[in-house]
Amino acid sequence: MAERPSIAVCPACVAIPTDLIKSAGEARSNQSRRIELSLPTIHCAACISGVETGLGKLPEIEGARVNLTRKRVAITVKDVPGIETYLIDLLTSWGYPAKELDSAALDQEMVDKAGRDLLARLAVAGFAMMNVMLLSFSVWGGAEGATREMMHWISALIALPTVAFSGVPFFKNAWTALKVGRLNMDVPISLALILASGVSLLETFEGGDHAYFDAALSLTFFLLLGRYLDHRTRSAARSAAVELAALEVHRAERISADGSRETVPMDALREGDMIAVAAGSRIPVDGVVTEGRSELDPSMLTGETMPEAVEPGTSVIAGMLNLTGALVVKAEGLGEDTLLQQITRLVESAEASKNKYTSLAEKAAAIYAPLVHILSAAAFLFWGFYSGDWRLAVNIAAAVLIITCPCALGLAVPAVLTAASGRLFRNGVLLKEGVALERLAEVDTVVFDKGGTLTTGKPQLMNGASISVQDMAVAIAMAQGSVHPMSKAIGAFGKAAGIAPAMLKDIVEEPGMGTRADLNGQEVRLGRAVWCGVESHDVAQSASWLRIGQGAAIVLLFEDIMRAETSETIAALLAEGLDVQILSGDAPKPVQSAAEKLGVDTWIAEATPADKVAVLKRLADEGHKVLMVGDGLNDAAALAGAYVSISLASAVDASRVSADMILVSDDLSQVSKSLRLAQVAKRRILENFSIAAIYNLIAVPIALLGFATPLIAALAMSGSSITVSLNAMRLGRKS
Amino acid sequence: MNILAFLIPISLGLGGVGLLAFFWMMRNNQYDDPDGNANRILSERYDKSPDGEA
């Protein structure tokens, strides 16, 4: 466990002048508030007690509760401004990197009402099914006369209210479909439920042999189970999507005319507002720099990892990360005009032009629903006219409907998807929508973005080994404490090479230029060429310079290197016979060298977001099913338009929102593994359909001929449902 | 067969108790953090609000 700083007084409270708290209102300072933080790394009992006891010691905190399943902590805290940031820093320093979640977005999914509703109905159906089944055993075992009638009556008393309560989700859906003149899976289900209950009630009144109450109930139970599994997969995905959307909390610091600063939500900003952007935070709006110098990291927007220098007069784009100096930005484009909005529009149009995918379950229902109705109606008419006994005819029609019950069909897809998404989740892949897995199984082309996807998206020091240890030690010391990506790269190199930083005095960071320090009376400079007195040079790649005293400047070269697992992943995809392509916004040279290194033949460089969409559209028109893997804002539209898409956890909001799957672990090798899992999952679904079909092929003729008894119905139903679930569960095992 | 007059209501009643208990647990958020509950049992700290209230 990480070392803990002593907790004396909350610095956030100390930093804030007391009169400010008072002016905010006495009531407010006493009011408590609930915030939630995401803690992606907690995993054990020690983590839970570490976080809870640690937070419990703070005077501002009234209560903290970790939810290990969701990897979050809910905190009730006194309403002190800035408390979130303080808590995040504190938790991060304890070794639990924390992120703030937007409480407004979270409130909507706080209590999963629909899930609880389904679960309650499922529990009632399960209870009723068990009991009625027990009563039915005595009838199947040969109970006769008064005993059988009593069993039937008790069963009716349990079954009828249960079907009325637990069947509501099916009745509702069936009614909605019928109102617009369509058939869905719920129509035969509802009909079977109503017919089975109705016929059985009639038989009970008449003292007949067969009552299908147990069948009606197990039908309800198994179908609700499928429905509930389906809901759970979807709500897990939805809650993850909400969490991701909430991760970036949108606030900006506005400077009023009198110079005072206030933190306002993004949508309160107006054109012409002056916004302060501290080093280390993102530019909230498109605009022009009016004060300050700094460097901006545009990697999220363009895929380009090298920082751009900005000074008063430079235009900046929302989403860029401010690296070194504080800036004041005058908001210009807001709403419709920002780059972000343009990309959002592209995403929307890409989504709209995407063909609707018909899932396997929908395809099965389209064949199945009419077939069952025709069979059942035919049996009814045939037996009615043939025997003239309409009571028998209704009985047989009901038996056909019950036997062909789509129990197994209703479980076939949800059971597989639950097992598959559970395994994906353990592998660090988040599936946002079940059908995406079916689409993933059909993919024949994989298109990768380069910067941040194939590569790490962070520059690395390339020529560190050829620089003397003394000079490196100076550079490492200068780079310490800077958030600049190149400084971080120098620091990382130093750590890896085991070089201790030199002793420097008076380290000053000059925003937009570099760092200056004092080494035994000599001035040392690290930064841009101009900063180190280099007037002309022929270094084509991104570089920094180090100059000690009046000596010659030493060049430090940086490159965005491949992820460790990239080549292995690409090789695995190529080995499966997939067409792999690279589609990047970066310059041709680095893209070409990356493509050659990986053995990828097709690559496109300097692609704008619109180009990317067009390329994917062309591939789709040629009949290819494309998997797009990307991370940048410039990929968002392409991700939305692709047949199926995967985004990385480190990606920007827009990309994560438009992708179908997210690599939470940021491990690219999961792309090929997920692809294989998807293929297996699809095979399981088809197997399940076959199993259900085989059961029906055997049982339907029996029912049509009028030999079906409640016992046969119960056996066929439970048998097929259990086989299908077991077949699905094979997927969850470790392979 | 008179025994059925007792046994059936008793078995239904017991099942009903189980069903009610399940509803009670669901309403008290006891299914919200299964992983957490599995781990908390290992901790010596007294858990004063097992229903997950902060």
Write phi, then psi, for A272 (nearest 5 degrees).
90, -10
- Judged on CB neighbours under 10 Å (0-12, 13-18, 19+), A720 is buried
Mean pLDDT of the A424-436 span? 80
Residue partners of A385: CB distance under 8 A and separation at least 6: none
Least confident of A477-486, A666-675, A692-701: A477-486
Closest partner CB to A69 (pick from B15, B18, B33)? B33
Quote the pLDDT of residue A19: 38
**Distance of residue A67 Cα from the nearest chain B Cα, in angstroms:** 6
Neighbours of B29 (CB within 10 A): 15
Q: Which two tokens stand for residue A138?
A: 């005595």
Q: What is the ipTM of this complex?
A: 0.85
**Is A150 touching B (CB cutoff 8 A)?**
yes
d(CA B24, CA A502): 64
Mean pLDDT of the A199-227 span? 87
Task: Report whether A725 contacts A415 (CB < 8 A).
Answer: yes
**For residue A604, which of A625, A620, A585 has the smallest C-alpha distance?**
A585
Which residue of chain B comes nearest to A123, CA vs CA? Answer: B19
Mean pLDDT of the A312-320 span? 81
Catalytic residue at A117? no
pTM tops 0.90, yes or no = no
Task: Report whether A670 contacts A427 (CB < 8 A).
Answer: yes
Tell me what the pLDDT averaged over chain A comes to.
Answer: 80
How big is chain A, counted in residues? Answer: 735
Q: Which two tokens stand for residue A95?
A: 């070794």
**What does the DSSP 8-state code read for residue A282?**
B
Neighbours of A459 (CB within 10 A): 26
Enumerate the residues of chain A whose CB falls inside 8 A of the CB of residue B49. Answer: 65
Using the predicted structure, report yes or no on whether residue A476 has a pLDDT greater than 60. yes
Contact flag B53-A70 (C-beta cutoff 8 Å): no
Task: Report whether A187 contacts A243 (CB < 8 A).
Answer: no
Q: If phi over 0 gives left and psi between -120 and 50 gives alpha, with beta otherwise, what is residue A344?
A: alpha
Closest partner CB to B19 (pick from A48, A124, A154)? A124
For A349-387, how does the pLDDT look when each residue is reduced to its tens digit (9 = 90+)?
777 766 667 788 888 877 887 888 888 889 899 999 988
Quote the pLDDT of residue A8: 36
Which has more confidence, A102 or A298? A298
For A280-310, how does the pLDDT look when each residue is reduced to its tens digit (9 = 90+)?
777 877 888 888 888 887 766 666 667 778 8
Distances (CA, A) of A463 to A188, A198, A515, A554, A702: 70, 82, 20, 11, 79
| Contact residues, B window 1-54, toward A, CB-based 8 Å cutoff | 1, 4, 8, 11-12, 15-16, 18-19, 22-23, 26, 31-36, 39-40, 42-43, 45, 49, 52-54
Task: Report whether A214 contacts A132 (CB < 8 A).
Answer: yes
Mean pLDDT of the B20-25 span? 91
Enumerate the residues of chain A whose CB falls inside 8 A of the CB of residue B54. Answer: 34, 62-65, 74-76
Least confident of A97-101, A463-467, A527-531: A97-101
Q: In angstroms, how far is CA A342 from the centroid of its own chain?
A: 23
Using the predicted structure, report yes or no on whether residue A279 has a pLDDT greater than 80. no
Inter-axis angle of helices A670-704 and A566-575, nearest 10: 40
**For residue A136, which of A167, A159, A165 has the smallest C-alpha distance?**
A159
Quote the pLDDT of residue A250: 62
**Distance of residue B50 Cα from the nearest chain A Cα, in angstroms:** 10
Task: Report whether A342 contacts A355 (CB < 8 A).
Answer: no
Using the predicted structure, report yes or no on whether residue A10 has a pLDDT greater than 60. no
Three-state SS sequence of A297-361: ECHHHHCCCCCEEECCCCEECCCCEECCCCEEEEECCCHHHCHHHHHHHHHHHHHHHCCCCCCHH
Least confident of A98-102, A271-275, A427-431: A98-102
Residue partners of A85: CB distance under 8 A and separation at least 6: A12
Q: Work out the pLDDT band at A460, boundaries 50, 70, 90.
A: confident
